[in-house]
Chain A
């Protein structure tokens, strides 16, 4: 049994301190994820609170055989989707098949061109990446953030998003190529 499972069990028995420990453990990764997805710190903090409240209300449905972080981020991802639907923001459906999904190696970058990363100092590059991330379609951005910011494994992301692992790998790669294109684009 993991530490998280023990904390969940204690929280279910009414130990609020145990749930507070869960909040303290996951508040930073969750806010990082929501911040990168919404592009607004205040919204990210509000959503993170909502996600923890939802998690608390459905703690009884958590199964210790799964990782708690995966379960929590699944709630967060669904919360974001609800938010986008309410706001009627354009979504790129991850359920829509992409021609290259089954042929990841077939993907080509148009041209390797001049270096993206070496054009900037690291700090400047990070600022550019942050800005460019906001221009990537949400559905791709989400997978990219889960992989490269929150450092979930492809298998964990597949579980969070209920997608095949191969599809997740492909979409993360596509997101990265979109990011590179955004960084190369003159602004």
Chain B
């Protein structure tokens, strides 16, 4: 009489054997004490595994996750609250203006208009200054080009072979340090 393979025993325990296969397996079990013992052993191991104690999750875990979520996606209630807060702020400033100055809504609108216009004028003036600075910078770059070309033109006759050699070695060293040094630093940062 051949015994069922261990894999078949596991399938039986997991309820994955059906029909004829299951009936044949159970018939063999009824007649084979060794297989019954083996099956019982496997069942105990399954019980032990499925009953492993849970890894404890602290009470504040969900709150900690929620605090890490990117950009609060505001709910419907949140949007209503935000609108209410905005309205309250506008009304509050109107009331404050009235209480402090004793003036009415028309005065407030006039003052708000004047403040807006001042802010707009200031922004326009600042932008104009920015454009002017950019124009000067571009002019400088334009003048610098021919000067650099001229400089490079007069440089070679002044360079002696020793100076050129030293410059080449220096350049090579700087290049080597930049490439391999950076890689080294990167590799160190990668270890953790």
Q: Which chain A residue lies CB-closest to B78?
A: A14
Chain A residues near B44: list those with CB within 8 A: 117-118, 122, 125
Chain B residues near A107: list those with CB within 8 A: 5-7
A181 at the interface (CB under 8 A from B): no
User: Is A19 in contact with B66, judged by CB distance below 8 angstroms?
Assistant: yes
Partner of A116, one of B10, B45, B50, B76: B45
B69 at the interface (CB under 8 A from A): yes
Which of A25-33, A66-74, A91-99, A156-164 interfaces with chain B? A25-33
Q: What is the minimal beta-carbon distance from B49 to any residue of chain A, in angstroms?
A: 5
Distance of A57 Cα from B69 Cα, bound (Å):
8
Chain A residues near B76: list those with CB within 8 A: 13-15
Q: Mark B32-70, 1 if CB is under 8 A from A, else 0.
A: 001001101111111111111111111001101110111
Distance of A41 Cα from B69 Cα, bound (Å):
22
B20 at the interface (CB under 8 A from A): no
A53 at the interface (CB under 8 A from B): yes
User: Is A149 in contact with B61, judged by CB distance below 8 angstroms?
Assistant: no
What does DSSP make chain B's interface, helix, strand, loop or mixed? helix
Q: What is the minimal beta-carbon distance from B128 to any residue of chain A, in angstroms?
A: 42
User: Is B57 in contact with A23, judged by CB distance below 8 angstroms?
Assistant: no
User: Is B61 in contact with A45, judged by CB distance below 8 angstroms?
Assistant: yes
Partner of A149, one of B49, B73, B74: B49
Distance of A40 Cα from B68 Cα, bound (Å):
21
Distance of A118 Cα from B45 Cα, bound (Å):
9
Q: What is the minimal beta-carbon distance from A66 to any residue of chain B, in angstroms?
A: 22
User: Is B55 in contact with A117, judged by CB distance below 8 angstroms?
Assistant: no
Q: What is the minimal beta-carbon distance from A170 to any residue of chain B, in angstroms?
A: 8
Q: Which chain B residue lies CB-closest to A151?
A: B50
User: Is A27 in contact with B66, judged by CB distance below 8 angstroms?
Assistant: no
User: Is B38 in contact with A108, judged by CB distance below 8 angstroms?
Assistant: no
A61 at the interface (CB under 8 A from B): no
Chain B residues near A45: list those with CB within 8 A: 57-58, 61
B114 at the interface (CB under 8 A from A): no
Known: A105-B8, A107-B7, A117-B41. A32 touches B55 (CB 8 A): yes
Distance of A35 Cα from B56 Cα, bound (Å):
9
User: Is A49 in contact with B8, judged by CB distance below 8 angstroms?
Assistant: no
Known: A16-B66, A19-B66, A49-B64. A126 touches B53 (CB 8 A): yes
Distance of A171 Cα from B76 Cα, bound (Å):
48
User: Is B68 in contact with A16, judged by CB distance below 8 angstroms?
Assistant: no
Known: A108-B6, A117-B41, A122-B47. A20 touches B57 (CB 8 A): no
A23-B65, A105-B5 known; 4 new pairs, CB 8 Å cut-off, are A27-B62, A36-B55, A52-B65, A179-B49
